[in-house]
Structure 1
Amino acid sequence: MNHTIQTFFTPASMDCPPNYEMLKKEHEVGVLGAPHNPAETSVPDHVVWSLFNTLFMNSCCLGFIVFAYSMKSRDRKVVGDLTVAQAYASTAKCLNIWALILGIIMTILLIIISILILQAYQ
């Protein structure tokens, strides 16, 4: 992992004093760290899968929770905090798997119960 040297603005090195935006950007890069490789920014956030689970497989409101974690992951990725974005993405992936499994099981049970009820009335 490459570390960049954070330079400070000195009046001797600049013609005009730094403005607030320049200092804020320099601070954010120093605190969060700039991505050194474009491949590092490819953290999957699973938003489409979460949206599908929210709309179609929302058993026990798990889809809403999954969608919230996916959006948190996307927000952290946009800010540049890739370690926290990866953690949220991992949680979203795990919860997406559980929401999909529970949704499929509940759909199968609903079909079986409706078939049994229709056979009971015939």
Structure 2
Amino acid sequence: MNSEGYPSDSVPLQGRHEGFHGQPGVSTVVQCTSESFPPEPPRDHIIWSLCCFLYSNACCLGLAALIFSIKARDRKVVGDMEGARHYGSTARCLNICATVLVSIMILIFLITVITVLVMAKQVAQRYTVYDNNYRG
């Protein structure tokens, strides 16, 4: 349960114990420690934005996501973590929209191609049946 690089702290309970616990008039002080980890830096989603820009630039959402990712990275370098978090969140939303739109378009394309192929096969079978029945 202990992460590497962070030593575990053991803090003894301090206070007076004049009897059983839970008895009235007993004063016990409990000291708790908390470790504060540095907050995770905001994500800029630059790789996802590049992929959306290069492969799935639906309605220029990939380009907009790439621009916001670059802005988030710039804000992170400057030290404005709140601005970086805002731009990174916007880039993530744009990436999600671009990915969903392209996925839907690919799905519609596949359904259309499969439907056309099935219909073409049925038409071809009808003509071969008519040709075999017609002996002229």
TM-score, normalised to structure 1's length? 0.63
Question: 3-state DSSP class of the match of 2:38?
Answer: helix
Instruction: Count how many residue pairs are aligned between Structure 1 and Structure 2.
Output: 86
Change (3 A) 1:81 1:94: same
Spell out structure 1 runs of 4+ moving beyond 4 A: none
Distance in 1 separating the partners of 2:118 and 2:103: 23
Q: Which residue of 2 aligns with 1:9?
A: none
Q: Which residue of 2 aligns with 1:57?
A: 56
TM-score, normalised to structure 2's length? 0.57
Instruction: Flag the structure with larger Rg.
Output: 2
Distance in 2 separating the partners of 1:57 and 1:93: 14
Matches within 5 A, 1:28-39: 39=38
Q: Which residue of 1 aligns with 2:106?
A: 107
Higher helix share: 1
Question: 3-state DSSP class of the match of 2:48?
Answer: helix
- Asked if structure 2 preserves the Cα contact closer than 8 Å seen for 1:43 and 1:82, the reply is yes
Ranked by relative contact order (alpha carbons within 8 Å, sequence separation 6 or more), the top structure is 1
Distance in 2 separating the partners of 1:52 and 1:104: 14
- Asked if structure 1 preserves the Cα contact closer than 8 Å seen for 2:41 and 2:81, the reply is no
Give ranges in structure 1 of 5+ residues lacking alignment.
1-36
Distance in 1 separating the partners of 2:37 and 2:49: 25
Q: Calculate percent identity across the aligned residue pairs.
A: 43
Matches within 5 A, 1:27-106: 39-40=38-39, 42-106=41-105
Matched to 1:72, the amino acid is K
Distance in 2 separating the partners of 1:45 and 1:39: 18
Give ranges in structure 2 of 5+ residues lacking alignment.
1-35, 122-136
Distance in 1 separating the partners of 2:38 and 2:101: 33
